[in-house]
Structure 1
């Protein structure tokens, strides 16, 4: 059995209880070495075989899966954050289907959630934004033409940009082609929830300069939108004049 497990954003106590249990009982762990906090590997049994996938190809990972399956071993494929975002898990799962090796998927806390927590922010504010766009800037890996950053920026929604902190000049230019202005609030969150976490609040017009000033060029999220400002409307859910299925409005 192969268990895909989300390790969470970095802090070892942000892995789920289910994920920690699977890591603790695994015979084999293959972890995303460039991103997963190695402290989490301290949960592994002493006799657990541990592989760093940063040095492996997909084919090499599959070889480990297959050999472990032949021995009847439990495998944890440990991904950063939640595996469903930029985890390259679909190709692994499809290969496991072809090999008739069973697997399951344990979700994790994504870094975009940890970044909001670091900022004490809420992505969805009444009358500000009710939509969150999670995306990335095209680089060595392209994006579909209809999903280029400048096109998505036309919506003016809350935006969380992954895998792009090394291209902040390009990010800034693309955002300014959309609905955002030089003064739109933005933030850079480096290694959310790690001990070395760094939070930089700025504006869209300052993104590239602030990245250089604070030496942020990798392992950071770019957050954009008016959810970072101080203006918003109170939620209707807890408004005393608003009826819900559990409470009548005050008259």
Structure 2
């Protein structure tokens, strides 16, 4: 028996990975956060799967429930929104599972940044102009921000900033970034990326506060970058006829089972 942490993706039920879907199908208990996980995702579970909404539960309550069902012989899915690699709070759960010797796996999910990029119908990096995307957030109630990880420090690079969990602090974001990026720098706010009611606000650092609808208070990603709107750039050498591909072979061979 195992606890399977699964990244559910950004919201669209079809954006869960094939592997994640298969694990959900075989698990007999599924823990999910009802406040941010669409109910449509639970359709990937079997009809007799025990479904537990963890939204009102504390960490100790969740762990106690997991331990109980594990001891009862259940295969357990722990469904998290987005991807597990950032701001998922899986580490604190894993820490307890290790203490009580419960095995676990992690299955990654599609990130909100990936979903936002797809909704914008563009790549976030631009050849010769920008090759770095920084995923960060502002100070929140759940976790303190280290002093060196300030928006000002990241802004010095002029990289694309993908600012999560911070739409409620949009005035602070503007105040801190304006001296580095300028008032005309493009800003994209993607609310509910990949959800049916998704909205995209195309704005600038100088205008985003006024352009933002008042009902957008959470589940929004802020993208900031000088070249987010540019269509003038040189192509990379990746597909250049004269480019010698040192690491790209014709196929991957027999690395995976058929």
TM-score, length basis structure 1:
0.93
Deviations 1:89-121 (A, max 9, x none): 011111100000000000110111000000012
Q: Distance in 2 between matches of 1:16 and 1:243?
A: 33
Deviates more, 1:156-165 or 1:202-211: 202-211
- Asked whether the equivalents of residues 136 and 163 of structure 1 are also in contact (C-alpha less than 8 Å), the reply is yes
Pairing 1:23–2:24 present: yes
Taking only aligned residues, the RMSD between alpha carbons, in angstroms, comes to: 1.5
Q: What is the aligned partner in structure 2 of residue 96 from structure 1?
A: 97
Aligned-pair distance for 1:27?
1.2
2-structure distance, mates of 1:180, 1:35 = 32
1:191 aligns with 192
> What does residue range 75-224 of structure 1 map to in structure 2 within 5 Å?
75-140=76-141, 141-177=143-179, 179-212=180-213, 215-224=215-224
Alignment length, in residue pairs?
245
Aligned to 1:42, what secondary structure does the other structure show?
helix
Q: Distance in 1 between matches of 2:155 and 2:53?
A: 36
Q: Partner of 1:62: helix, strand, or coil?
A: helix
Structure 2 unpaired stretches of 5+: 250-258
Q: Normalising to structure 2: TM-score of the pair?
A: 0.91
Q: Distance in 1 between matches of 2:70 and 2:213?
A: 47
Unaligned runs of 5+ in 1: none
Cα contact 1:190–1:198 (8 A) shared by 2? yes
